[in-house]
């Protein structure tokens, strides 16, 4: 056992009680197979699986695109405001069980509007569940609209137009989907417009794509956070820059394992990132597809990389300092972590 823990059970209990924020979560990626079946039935949508077990068996991926194909198919069961409410409410309950006190969650409107579901329907269901989570659990939240990078910049511009009436409920914009071949530079203009509207900026970069994509996210999109960022470690100057700018990386260990970004969880670069002074955080990405919510992600790396109590506290602190909360709220959460630790 590393410093401070006498057993694996004690370490698990420490992680469970640690106040945390989750900064990298695709709400559509929290669709559990049980709910997928329920919504398929409710909406009369055919799905190519006979049982929950069959769905889970199909979740074997060899890269990001393998996963995305099944992820876009899965979200096809979401149609009504109630569906988006149920999806989001289920995730909030799981996050609360992991003592996640603040969430900043992504949604992919183009994955729904392309199927004829209105933007208003998507946002109404998600925000109603987030409002209820605040009342029920005291959980605070921010919503981040992601543009699908395999689609055109014009499509992203049209999506930003659709979001304009709802900017009071949208904290930022992000960039997700198939990374390689769709560099940040493809979206420079739409992100400049979003920034001008006062929105925060994040982007998936360096998950499968090269360090050059991380440079572009910083220089061209002017991101406030990098989602993943793993491949930054291949570029020493970039690591220095990210550390120097206190840039938060939203790292997703079980996602990296399931999408073969790392061969083995023991090869995960999280500890290397922390030791290099990078502001890494631990997140679940698409927990239904990758086998675990936030605490399972903390546990996997704590176990495989022998993380110390101090490392775990740093990760939890980074999750709040890297959030889009105001200074007073950040200070309140950091004080709660210090009191706990
Ligand atoms: N969409 C949902 N999860 C994603 C991931 N890990 N990378 C890129 N796009 C995504
Ligand atoms: Zn992601």
Measured from the Cα of 71, ligand 1's closest atom is 2
Q: Is residue 286 part of a domain?
A: yes
Domain tally for the chain?
A: 1
Tell me, yes or no, whether 87 lies in a domain: yes
What does each C-alpha distance from 25 to 17, 41, 142 come to in angstroms?
Answer: 20, 26, 11
Asked if the structure places residue 121 within a domain, the reply is: yes
Q: 29 CB less than 6 Å from ligand 1?
A: yes
* Residue at 3 is within a domain: no
- Residue 244 CB neighbours (<10 A): 9
Q: Which strands make up the sheet holding 140-148, listed edge to edge?
A: 20-22, 100-107, 140-148, 172-176, 200-205, 225-228, 248-251, 279-282
pLDDT at 162: 98
| DSSP annotation of 261 | S
For 327, other C-beta atoms within 10 Å of its C-beta total 7
pLDDT for position 5: 87
SS3 at position 48: coil
2 is a domain residue: no
- The model carries a pTM of 0.98
**Taking the CA of residue 289 as centre, how many other CA atoms within 13 Å lie in the half-sphere pointing to its CB?**
32
Q: What is the rounded distance in angstroms from the CA atom of residue 45 to the CA atom of residue 340?
A: 47
Tokens 């999109």 locate to 221
Length of the chain equals 341
Q: Which structural domain, as residue segments, surrounds residue 127?
A: 8-340
Q: Is residue 1 part of a domain?
A: no
Shortest-distance Cα residue to atom 8 of ligand 1: 177
51 CB contacts (<8 Å, ≥6 apart)?
none
Domain membership of residue 196 (yes or no) is yes
The pLDDT of residue 50: 94
Return all residues near 244 (Cβ < 8 A) that are at least 6 apart.
Answer: none
Distances 328 to 105, 171, 341 between C-alpha atoms, Å:
21, 18, 20
pLDDT tens over the chain, length 341 residues: 556 788 889 999 999 999 999 999 999 999 999 999 999 999 999 999 999 999 999 999 999 999 999 999 999 999 999 999 999 999 999 999 999 999 999 999 999 999 999 999 999 999 999 999 999 999 999 999 999 999 999 999 999 999 999 999 999 999 999 999 999 999 999 999 999 999 999 999 999 999 999 999 999 999 999 999 999 999 999 999 999 999 999 999 999 999 999 999 999 999 999 999 999 999 999 999 999 999 999 999 999 999 999 999 999 999 999 999 999 999 999 999 999 99
**From atom 9 of ligand 1, which residue's Cα is the shortest distance away?**
177
The preferred substitution site among 68, 109, 255, 297 for testing ligand 1, maximizing ligand atoms within 8 Å of CB, is: 68
- CATH code of the domain covering residue 32: 3.20.20.140
pLDDT of residue 301: 98
User: Residue for token digits 């002074």?
Assistant: 277
Examine residue 117 and state whether it is found in any structural domain, yes or no.
yes
Report the candidate in 298, 325, 327 with the shortest Cα–Cα distance to residue 99. Answer: 298
Active site residues: 207
Task: Verify whether ligand 1 is closer than 6 Å to residue 64 (CB atom).
Answer: yes
Q: Which pLDDT does position 303 carry in this prediction?
A: 96
**Phi and psi at residue 146, to the nearest 5°:** -100, 135
What distance in angstroms lies between residue 219's CA and the mean position of ligand 2's atoms?
Answer: 21
């Amino acid at each position: 056992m590393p410093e401070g823990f006498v057993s694996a059970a004690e370490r698990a209990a420490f992680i469970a009680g640690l106040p945390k924020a989750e900064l990298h979560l695709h709400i559509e990626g929290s669709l559990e197979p049980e709910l997928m079946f329920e919504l398929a039935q409710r909406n009369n949508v055919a799905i190519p699986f006979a049982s929950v077990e069959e769905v889970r068996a199909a979740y074997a991926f060899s890269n990001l695109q393998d996963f995305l194909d099944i992820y876009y198919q899965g979200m096809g069961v979401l149609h009504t405001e109630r569906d988006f409410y149920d999806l989001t409410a289920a995730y909030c309950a799981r996050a609360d069980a992991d003592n996640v006190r603040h969430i900043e969650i992504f949604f992919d409107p183009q994955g729904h509007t392309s199927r004829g579901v209105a933007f208003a329907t998507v946002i109404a269901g998600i925000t109603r569940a987030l409002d209820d989570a605040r009342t029920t659990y005291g959980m605070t939240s921010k919503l981040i609209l992601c543009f699908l990078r395999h689609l055109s910049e014009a499509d992203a511009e049209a999506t930003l137009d659709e979001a304009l009436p709802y900017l009071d409920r949208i904290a930022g914009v992000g960039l997700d989907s198939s990374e390689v071949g769709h560099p940040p530079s493809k979206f420079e203009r739409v992100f400049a417009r979003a920034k001008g509207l006062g929105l925060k900026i994040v982007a998936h970069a360096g998950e499968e794509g090269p360090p050059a994509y991380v440079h572009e996210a910083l220089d061209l999109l002017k991101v406030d956070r990098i989602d993943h960022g793993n491949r930054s470690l291949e570029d020493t100057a970039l690591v220095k820059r990210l550390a120097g700018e206190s840039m938060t990386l939203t790292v997703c260990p079980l996602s990296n394992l399931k999408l073969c970004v790392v061969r083995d969880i023991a090869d995960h670069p999280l500890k290397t990132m922390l030791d290099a002074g990078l502001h890494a955080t631990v997140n679940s990405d698409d927990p239904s597809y990758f086998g675990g919510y936030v605490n399972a992600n903390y546990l996997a790396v704590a176990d495989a990389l022998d993380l110390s109590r101090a490392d775990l506290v740093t990760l939890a602190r980074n999750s709040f300092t890297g959030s889009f909360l105001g200074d007073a709220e950040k200070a309140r959460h950091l004080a709660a972590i210090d009191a706990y630790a």
